[in-house]
Amino acid sequence: MKFIRTLGFAAATLIVSTGVQAEQKFINVLTGGTSGVYYPMGVALSKLYGEALPNAKISVQSTKASAENVNLLQAGRGEVAFALGDTVSNAYKGVEEAGFKKPLTKLRALGAIYPNYIQIVASKESGIKTLADLKGKRISVGAPKSGTELNARALFKAAGMSYEDFAKTEYLPFGESVELMKNRQLDATLQSAGLGVASLRDLSSAIEIVVVSIPADVVEKVGDPAYAAEAIPANTYTGQTEDVPTAAVRNILVTHEDVDADAVYAMTKAMFTHMDQMVAAHASAKGITLEGAAKALPLPLHPGAERYYREAGVLK
């Protein structure tokens, strides 16, 4: 009995001395398609996490993005994920119309990050210039029930349109949508991503494009506070010479309640103290601010993240 107690004391000492590494052995970062923004940012985060948690096994997983990511987190098949704010809100509340049959109550926020811009890009030869011009055309709206596709449904509904208005609706990831447009098999693609997303840069360098405007009144009619009227700055893509009005939705970095609080604290701190590495991975990271990270979140903060924000002075 004395020997067993000694072992127990030794194990407890090991946990205390090794800290978060003893508690959190695996960190799987859930991202999106490799031609999007989530993936390169996830790779950058994984490197920072590896330095902050040297005894943890860090991995990066390419997924179908927001909706799949939050479901994987709820099931304990990931520790950190990128997701659109409206998807996170719908998941936490269990909005069945958005594909969530019950609330995903294990989800917790690491913090709000950069905004996704909902970017509708058409080939110039299609003749599409406005939202109304999309009627009777061939369009890709993102993977089924992905954050991008949920954005598409919401915006087209606000504009008085539906998928039935299109000649063809494809449910494809960014890279595949672009390849079909290059081959003249699609007229337009809707992509919810950070500015300068690789897929659309690739498209604009291959063919002449038109970035379709989403007017502010349409954004307002969505009726969801997660959506804000913004603009895609001129020259974001080749041939786009003017600012283009559109909608933006904040992204949330999400975790779940079973991830160790010390590990979440270390991961949150690692990102905000190495923002230069995040910006080097993708320019969209310029939209991440410590001041805005804990504001107006659609779900509770993880205690580990909350501790860091209080320490940093952005939460009282």
* pLDDT value of position 140: 98
What mean pLDDT is reported for the chain?
Answer: 92
| Per-residue pLDDT at 14 exceeds 90 | no
Angle (CA) 284-285-290 rounded to 5° is: 140
Q: Rounded distance, CA 157 to CA 49, Å?
A: 40
Q: Which two tokens stand for residue 267?
A: 């991961």
The per-residue pLDDT for range 58-103, each reduced to its tens digit, is 999 999 999 999 999 999 999 999 999 999 999 999 999 888 999 9
| Per-residue pLDDT at 225 exceeds 90 | no
* pLDDT value of position 18: 35
Question: Residue 245 to residues 32, 37, 44, 209, 214: CA-CA distances in angstroms?
Answer: 25, 21, 30, 16, 6
What is the torsional sign of CA 187, 138, 69, 175?
A: negative
The per-residue pLDDT for range 230-249, each reduced to its tens digit, is 999 999 999 999 999 999 99
Q: Rounded distance, CA 82 to CA 113, Å?
A: 9
| Per-residue pLDDT at 3 exceeds 50 | no
What is the torsional sign of CA 203, 204, 205, 207?
A: positive
| Per-residue pLDDT at 1 exceeds 60 | no
* pLDDT value of position 219: 97
* pLDDT value of position 2: 39
- 280-286 mean pLDDT: 95
Q: Which two tokens stand for residue 258?
A: 């079973």
Helix, strand, coil percent content, the chain, rounded in steps of 5 = 45, 20, 35
Q: Which two tokens stand for residue 150?
A: 């949920």
Closest CA to 292 of 231, 240, 228: 228
Domains in the chain, CATH or no CATH each = 2-113+251-311 (3.40.190.10), 116-250 (3.40.190.10)
| Per-residue pLDDT at 6 exceeds 50 | no
* pLDDT value of position 17: 34
How many CB atoms lie under 10 A from the CB of residue 51? 12
* pLDDT value of position 144: 84
Question: Residue 141 to residues 50, 89, 208, 279: CA-CA distances in angstroms?
Answer: 35, 21, 20, 27
* pLDDT value of position 97: 87
The per-residue pLDDT for range 146-199, each reduced to its tens digit, is 889 999 999 999 999 999 999 999 999 999 999 999 999 999 999 999 999 999
> How much of the chain, in percent, has pLDDT values that exceed 90?
87
| Per-residue pLDDT at 5 exceeds 70 | no
In one-letter notation, the amino acid at residue 89 is S
**In the structure, what pLDDT confidence band is assigned to residue 16 with cuts at 50, 70 and 90?**
very low
Bridge partners of 256, per DSSP, are 107
| pTM assigned to the model | 0.85
Question: Which helix (H) or strand (E) segment is 192 a member of?
Answer: strand 188-193
The per-residue pLDDT for range 126-148, each reduced to its tens digit, is 999 999 999 999 999 998 888 89
